[in-house]
Amino acid sequence: MKELLKEDFSFAEGILQGYTALVCGASKGIGKATAQMLSRAGAKVVLCARSKDELEEVISNLYGDGHTSLVMDLEEMDSIENNIKKLISQVGDIEILINNSGGPPGGPLIENNISDFQGPFKRHLFASHMITKLLIPGMKRSGMGRIINIISTSVREPIDNIGLSNTLRGAMGSWSKSLSRELDPCITINNILPGFTDTDRLSSLSESISERTGKSVHSVREDWMNSVPIQRLINPLETANAITWLSLPSSGAIRGISLAVDGGRMRSI
């Protein structure tokens, strides 16, 4: 694949001028790429993650100015409400919310204990619900809201050896679809289902599979690429491209969908 050029992502340049976006999990991977794309589209971006240093590095490479960071652990439920309320008082209404966080460890579901579910459900489902509720009033005032959840293709086709993640992603998908029937007409909620994307998360999964099966990491990654019609891993910027499209004011008729960015890996329609 040829290197992605700046011109490849010029379709939305400036179109989100005047809007503010909160991107969770923005220090790396898909979250980082999404922050870059939204800033290219003209949005002021609030980047949320646990590491201030990593967030500041990402901010230094965004387009435009006025971007800021929010250091927050999405598993610390008691602090989320205070942090988000304080953020709104500082930056004003936030029209675009990207719910995104690192996935749980791999492994057979039957080997998980109840305690293994708590952290992942907090930082994904519970945090997403709490932040969404806090931002909805501002979206109503602005007359536009875009909520986009980064989940997984396992919503449609469970993936072997990541049973806890499959369970969590399914819950997120049902939560999102239910909200799509309840939110104000000016607010949309949709899901992005990433496939095999070239991120630290995928590297961690390949190492986990290698340890469990005895296959080399290279062989694991080759198996993945051979199962995908595009025959390669997906660049996070390609996923961010789809996220930005769903964030546009002109995407208001797209509501309650799960859009796969998977290179054609899934066999379902």
The first and second tokens of residue 91, run together, are 């930056």
Q: What is the pLDDT of residues 52-97, one digit of tens each?
A: 999 999 999 999 999 999 999 999 999 999 999 999 999 999 999 9
Kindly tell me if the per-residue pLDDT of 4 is higher than 80: no
Q: What is the DSSP string of 243-258?
A: HHHHHSGGGTT--S-E
| Residue 158 backbone dihedrals phi, psi, to 5 degrees | -55, 140
Fold classification of 13-197+235-261 is: Rossmann fold (3.40.50)
Q: What is the distance, to the nearest Å, from the Cα of residue 250 to the centroid of all Cα atoms in its chain?
A: 20
Q: Could you give the CA distance from residue 82 to residue 77 in angstroms, rounded to a whole number?
A: 10
Please report the pLDDT score of residue 102 as a whole number: 86
pLDDT at 150: 97
**Beta pairing partners, 147:** 97, 189
164-197: pLDDT as tens digits: 999 999 999 999 999 999 999 999 999 999 998 9
Show me where the domains of the chain are located.
Answer: 13-197+235-261, 199-233
Q: If you average pLDDT over residues 189-212, what whole number do you get? A: 80
Average pLDDT over residues 110-136: 97
Closest CA to 150 of 35, 264, 45: 35
pLDDT at 130 exceeding the cut of 80: yes
Lowest mean per-residue pLDDT among 55-59, 126-130, 189-193, 204-208: 204-208
Cα–Cα distance for residue pair 58/221, rounded to 1 Å: 27
Mean pLDDT of the chain: 92
Whole-number pLDDT of residue 59: 97
What amino acid occupies position 86? K
Give the model's confidence band at 9: pLDDT under 50 very low, under 70 low, under 90 confident, else very high: low
pTM check: above 0.85: yes
**Nearest-5° angle of CA 123, CA 197, CA 73?**
20
Give mean pLDDT, residues 129-136.
98
pLDDT at residue 198, as a whole number:
84
